[in-house]
Amino acid sequence: TGKRAFIAGVADDNGYGWAIAKSLAAAGAEILVGTWVPALNIFESSLRRGKFDESRVLPDGSLMEIAKVYPLDAVFDNPEDVPDDVKTNKRYAGSSKWTVQEVAESVKEDFGSIDILVHSLANGPEVSKPLLETSRKGYLAAISASSYSYVSLLKHFIPIMNPGGSSISLTYIASERIIPGYGGGMSSAKAALESDTRVLAFEAGRKYKIRVNTISAGPLRSRAAKAIGFIDMMIDYSLQNAPLQKELSSDEVGNTAAFLSSPLASAITGAVIYVDNGLNAMGVGV
């Protein structure tokens, strides 16, 4: 309660970012979100037109309020990074100040500080290609959008994070076990994200008293996951093989994020927390 959260990677009401926003709002936090520039217009107009009202309902019956929506493209750190074709692109030209550094500056100007930073975004243009068929460009794009984007977000937001604050990202078990179909360097990107979680926990803990954790989430039928193409199979596999044979709800990930962001988790940092009905613990499927 009384805390402020910035959640990067919310563009509809189906993904983990939305569920995390709701759990944090239910716990009393003020919610700011960062929305990918090309998805901004449709997200904001859907919000305004009440398209998300049903999924905005919190446990106490009130509706989640989003204090402000910021346009964000987390593959660019500052305006000098932005190539001309993106600058002049119709979908980008209508918005401004959407590089990571500029968004952090705007949040500072508007609100002063935050307590909770959430990274709930990923992108791998060649995700449907096996690693052996992935181009250098596709691999580096996956790492840029899905791993470095987190380093950059934390780097730019940490100066405005209050001591005792918490930072969370979302990862997937393909970082450590073979998950055929999660290609294009996305498995590599998640491995980097998990390793960075440990190093960043050390650096952010020592210098800023900020905790850094990542949630290894089970399969959810989000927009991003549907684009990969194997999500129904993964959900089915988990239902068949996990210790808990139920479909994973995004709220279960949201509630874990709220716990990790609360004083209840004040000694947890540098951790990969599994929220996957226990599937990670299985050696073979039965």
Residues with a known catalytic role:
172, 182
Taking the least distance from each CB to ligand NAD, the nearer of 74 and 271 is: 74
User: Distance between CA atoms of 47 and 41, rounded to whole angstroms?
Assistant: 10
Among positions 3, 17, 31, 183, the unique one binding ligand NAD when judged by CB under 6 A: 17
What distance in Å separates the CA atoms of residue 21 and residue 47, rounded to the nearest whole number?
A: 14
In 16-108, which ranges are E strands? 30-36, 66-72
How far from chain centre, in Å, is Cα 16? 7
Please tell me the count of residues contacting ligand NAD according to CB under 6 A: 28
**273 makes contact with ligand NAD (CB under 6 A):** no
For ligand NAD, what does the binding mask look like between residues 130 and 169, x meaning CB under 6 A?
Answer: ---------------x------------------------
Nearer to ligand NAD, 172 or 208 (CB): 172
Residues numbered 21 to 60 that lie near ligand NAD (CB under 6 A) are 36, 39
The residues pairing with 4 across neighbouring beta strands, listed in sequence order, are: 30
- How many CB atoms within 10 Å of residue 164? 13
| Site membership for ligand NAD, residue 223 (CB under 6 A) | yes
Give the residue, chosen from 3, 5, 6, 15, that forms a contact with ligand NAD under the rule CB under 6 A. Answer: 15
Nearer to ligand NAD, 10 or 114 (CB): 10
Q: Which residue is nearest to ligand NAD (CB)?
A: 15
Residue among 198 and 221 whose Cβ is closer to ligand NAD? 221
Helices and strands counted in the chain (H then E)? 11, 7
DSSP class of residue 17?
A: H
210: left (phi over 0), alpha (psi -120 to 50) or beta: beta
Say whether residue 87 binds ligand NAD (CB under 6 A).
Answer: no
Q: How far is the CB of 138 from ligand NAD (least distance, A)?
A: 14
Those residues whose C-beta lies under 8 Å from the C-beta of residue 233, and which sit 6 or more positions away, are: 181
Q: Is 11 in the site for ligand NAD (CB under 6 A)?
A: yes
Strands 272-275 and 161-171 come out as unpaired
- What is the three-class DSSP state of 169? strand
* Contacts to ligand NAD by CB under 6 A: 9-11, 14-17, 36, 39, 72-75, 120-123, 145, 170-172, 217, 219-220, 222-225
